Amino acid sequence: MKKVLKVAALTAALMMISSSAFAEESRHVSKNSCPPSEPVKRCPKPKPVKRCKPKPPKCPCPALPAKPPMAPSYSAPARVTTRCEWDTAVWASFIYWQPRMEMFTVGALRSFDLDDNVLSESAINMDFGWKPGFKVGASTKVNRDDWIAFAQYTRIYGGNRVSEELTADEIQDLELTKQIKVIPNGFFDDDTETVVSLKTRWKLSGNWMDFGFQRAYYSGKELTFTPFFGPKVAWITHRVHGQLYEFGNQELLTYNQYNRVKSWKVGPRVGFLGSWHLGEGVRFTGDAAFSILYSRYKTRVRNSHDPFETQNPDSWPVSNKDKQSQLVPWAEMSWGLAWGSYFNQDRWHMDLSAAYELHAIWDETMFNQVAFSFLGGNLKSSDLYFHGLTLNAKFDF
């Protein structure tokens, strides 16, 4: 028994000595070794995106209608678009046109020999001048497939005159040899006495308004078209005052005549505007339009033989008046050069253009329906023309 106790005590002592040595060696190793490295930071996993799921309808929905083609090359809109836009545009034009009336012949100048045979003859036609005028207009978007509603007013006023007068020597020769005559158209025949002076003045006042809808679209990378349609309304008045002096019975006889034709017109108008874009905002432009207008005319003729009443034609007695109506075609066209650009960080757009413009109105003058006179009485109604320069400035905002 004593022997067993001794062995157990010796074993316990050896184990204690071994544990102390191992602990001392561990402390020595930990002081001389490198410190442990820091842990690696890893990115957090992304949170899953929450997607909204539409709620099922309470009742079954009807099928949607088929949509039109949405390809950009299919009539893509070509209108001006600005930032913070009001979808509005205004413009003003200065026009310098020549009004012309077809076949406006007021007389003839003839030369005779001693046997009253006609040696030469030249017509006395109206002298047409150039007159200023203006246009103003505005447009706005109607929020339906880029269509635009517009309205435009045009005004041109002016007067033209022509005169022919014989000198004192020619009048003396007329009295003796009858070599020269001024013969008005349709007012006198060849048996009348000699006319020594003829004066005619034509005054015109033209006003018309164009309304309608238009849509600009691309027909290529550099070509755009703008079709338009709508009503046209016009008011046109012609006033012609003629005066002649006739030499007969050794005295001068005075004749005055005053013709007036007032008309209003209304009807449909359709046309298009084309632009070929050259780059840097420069482009060639051209447009054409056509109208058929119902026209109502009021005509009146006044005559006077008193030379002191020439300043007040409205006081002359009325010799003839009438009212008539007819359908009148009206054609328009223009071609020119334009430039446009955006300004102020695309907040507004300016467009400038210069063009030659032509208007043709069929059977507009009704003087032959009033009286066959020296004031321009032709065998048929005459056509009226306007043509000349148009300068335009337009602002979109």
Per-residue confidence band for 102, with pLDDT thresholds at 50, 70 and 90: confident
Instruction: Tell me the three state secondary structure of residue 22.
Output: helix
Mean of pLDDT over the chain: 78
Residue that has been written with the tokens 């316990």 in this structure: 12
Q: What are the tens digits of pLDDT across the range 28-37?
A: 444 444 455 5
| DSSP of 262-283 | EEEEEEEEEEEEEEEEEETTEE
What average pLDDT does range 283-300 have in this prediction?
94
Q: Using CA atoms of 171, 175, 176, 179 in order, give the dihedral in degrees to the nearest 10.
A: 60
Per-residue confidence band for 90, with pLDDT thresholds at 50, 70 and 90: very high
Per-residue confidence band for 50, with pLDDT thresholds at 50, 70 and 90: low
For residues 59-91, one letter each, b for 16 or more C-beta atoms within 10 angstroms of the residue's C-beta and e for the rest, the string is eeeeeeeeeeeeeeeebeebbbebeeeebebeb
Per-residue confidence band for 264, with pLDDT thresholds at 50, 70 and 90: very high
Task: Determine what percent of the chain is predicted with pLDDT higher than 70.
Answer: 65
pLDDT at 12: 66
pLDDT at 95: 97
Q: How many residues does the chain have?
A: 397
Per-residue confidence band for 344, with pLDDT thresholds at 50, 70 and 90: confident
Instruction: Tell me the three state secondary structure of residue 297.
Output: strand
pLDDT at 132: 96
pLDDT at 97: 97
pLDDT at 364: 84
Which is more confident, 374 or 214? 214
pLDDT at 96: 97
**H or E segment to which residue 384 belongs:** strand 382-396
Residue 165 has pLDDT above 80, yes or no: yes
pLDDT at 185: 53
pLDDT at 241: 82
Q: What are the tens digits of pLDDT across the range 230-242?
A: 999 999 999 888 8
Q: What are the tens digits of pLDDT across the range 106-157?
A: 777 877 777 777 777 788 888 899 999 999 999 999 988 889 999 999 999 9
Indicate the range of 176-180, 205-209, 330-334, 373-377 predicted with least confidence. 373-377
Q: What are the tens digits of pLDDT across the range 250-260?
A: 566 777 778 88
Residue 46 has pLDDT above 90, yes or no: no
Determine the Cα–Cα distance for residues 30 and 35; give it in Å rounded to an integer. Answer: 9
Q: What are the tens digits of pLDDT across the range 296-307?
A: 999 887 777 655
The closest alpha carbon to 203, from 163, 155, 259, 164, belongs to 259
What average pLDDT does range 357-361 have in this prediction?
96
Residue 98 has pLDDT above 80, yes or no: yes
Residue 224 has pLDDT above 70, yes or no: yes
Residue 318 has pLDDT above 80, yes or no: no
pLDDT at 33: 47
Question: What token pair was written down for 165?
Answer: 């007068």
